[in-house]
Amino acid sequence: MSTESEQLDDDIPQSGMLLGIDYGTRRVGVAVCDREQRFASPLHNHQRQGIQGDTRFFRKVQLEYRPSGLVVGLPLHMSGEESPKSAEAREFAKWLSEILQLPHTFQDERLTSWQAEKILLAAELSSRQRRERMDKLAAQILLQAWLDKRASTRA
Give the whole-angstrom CA distance, residue 1 versus residue 31: 31
- For the stretch 56-97, pLDDT in tens is 999 999 999 999 999 999 988 888 889 899 999 999 999 999
Q: How confident is the model at residue 1 (pLDDT cuts 50, 70, 90)?
A: very low
Give the whole-angstrom CA distance, residue 114 versus residue 107: 16
What is the distance, to the nearest Å, from the Cα of residue 64 to the centroid of all Cα atoms in its chain? 17
One-letter-per-residue 3-state SS of the chain: CCCHHHHHHHHCCCCCCEEEEECCCCEEEEEEECCCCCCEEEEEEEECCHHHHHHHHHHHHHHHHCCCEEEEEECECCCCCECHHHHHHHHHHHHHHHHHCCCEEEEECCCHHHHHHHHHHHCCCCHHHHHHHHHHHHHHHHHHHHHHHHHHHHC
Domains and CATH numbers, the chain: 9-148 (3.30.420.140)
Stated length of the chain: 155
Q: Are 41 and 144 in contact (CB under 8 A)?
A: no
Q: Which pLDDT score is estimated for 129?
A: 64
Q: How confident is the model at residue 3 (pLDDT cuts 50, 70, 90)?
A: very low
Q: Are strands 40-47 and 69-74 parallel, antiparallel or unpaired?
A: unpaired
For range 18-46, the mean pLDDT:
95
Whole-number percent of the chain with pLDDT over 70:
80
Q: Which pLDDT score is estimated for 87?
A: 95
The pLDDT of residue 146 is above 80? yes
In 3D, which of 143, 150, 153 has the Cα closest to residue 34? Answer: 143
Question: Phi and psi for 37 in degrees, rounded to 5?
Answer: 60, 50
